[in-house]
Amino acid sequence: MSDLGQILRKARMDAKISLDDLQEFTKIRKRYLEAIEEGNYKVLPGSFYVRAFIKSYAEAVGLDPAEVLKMYETTNPSPTTEQPVVETIRKKRASTRNTDKMSRWASSSMMIAFVVLILGVVYYFAYQNYKGTPAEDNPAGTQSPRITDRTDSSPGVTGSSTAAGTNQGETLATATPTPTPSPTPTPTPAASVQFVGSEKNVDTYAVTGSDKLTIQLKITGAQCWIQVDALTADNKRVMQKQKLYKNGDTDMFELSSSAYLNIGAASTVELNVNGTIVTVGDTPNPKKVRLNLQKS
């Protein structure tokens, strides 16, 4: 295996990208990717495609393509008379049909799930409204009797004496209820994101003052591969999403647990956690970020 192949393979393993995923991202055959890692460039269809494939490989794993190509040219000077060989990748009809079936099945499943979700939301709100209906439909039953509406049926007091007292100008005192002071609300601490430390290329942050994580991603440079995982109570990672983002792409995640981010190129990502900008890095190298949610 060549030095260049070792560097590319290590970057791919650090980013946790399999050869199958890399083949999907770059549209380069898996056997060509393996040949690049092994330094066996004779398998590839000419030096023109070697350079193009190495450049796509480097961008996908978050390395600087210019530096990688410079390293390749230093160890493998390109001949002046070689012409690129075009190889046509033919796809079998059966594979195409299977892909179409999978696409239709996925679209149908997403549509059914969306309809079920809408029905669930409608049922939830209808149930909540139903629970509050009896008091609204029978307001008379929920109103407490007022002091001025009570009839004077106390012993020793008759209608004639009441009338007589009224004619003589006597004033009947009306009891005024003393208002009960409302409890003072306890102030909610503001969300805070604090840097804890860095170990083995993993930056750790403590997030306090919130019961959830709101993670916003924005790609401000070249394309970048990112994987977002949720962390369980026993520190196991549950993948939420992995994607090769392009310049200008944005994404958002809301998690009720801690999170682990695997970023292919640190300098191309703007990371916002609970309204706080987190500096990932200023170099196009892979970076891992751990967000520890400390619920109050």
Both tokens assigned to 266:
């640190």
Domain range for 286: 192-293
| 278 within a domain of the structure (yes/no) | yes
Give yes or no for a contact between 267 and 279, defined as CB atoms under 8 angstroms apart: no
The H or E element containing residue 186 is: none
Q: Is 118 helix (H, G, I), strand (E, B) or coil?
A: helix
Residues contacting residue 58 through CB under 8 Å, at least 6 positions apart: 8, 11, 64, 65, 68, 69
Q: In what order do the strands lie in the sheet with 276-278?
A: 250-255, 213-219, 269-273, 276-278
Q: What is d(CA 268, CA 169) in angstroms, rounded to the nearest whole number?
A: 86
Above 60 in pLDDT, residue 216?
A: yes
The residue type found at 186 is: T
How many distinct structural domains can be found in the chain? 2
Mean pLDDT of 268-276: 91
Q: Is 252 helix (H, G, I), strand (E, B) or coil?
A: strand
| 119 within a domain of the structure (yes/no) | no
For tokens 């970057």, name the residue.
Answer: 11
Q: What is the pTM of this model?
A: 0.40
- Domain boundary pick from 105, 130, 158: 105
- Domain boundary pick from 82, 105, 128: 105
| 126 within a domain of the structure (yes/no) | no
Give yes or no for a contact between 213 and 255, defined as CB atoms under 8 angstroms apart: yes
Nearest 5°: CA angle at 291, between 287 and 293? 175
Q: Residue 90 sits in a domain of what CATH number?
A: 1.10.260.40
Strand 287-293 versus strand 237-245 pairing type: unpaired
How do residues 221-245 score in pLDDT, each as one tens digit?
Answer: 778 888 989 999 888 899 999 998 9
Which residues face 238 on adjacent strands?
230
Mean pLDDT of 50-54: 90
- Domain boundary pick from 105, 120, 145: 105
| 133 within a domain of the structure (yes/no) | no
How do residues 97-156 score in pLDDT, each as one tens digit?
Answer: 677 778 888 888 888 998 999 998 888 888 877 665 554 454 444 454 454 444 444 444
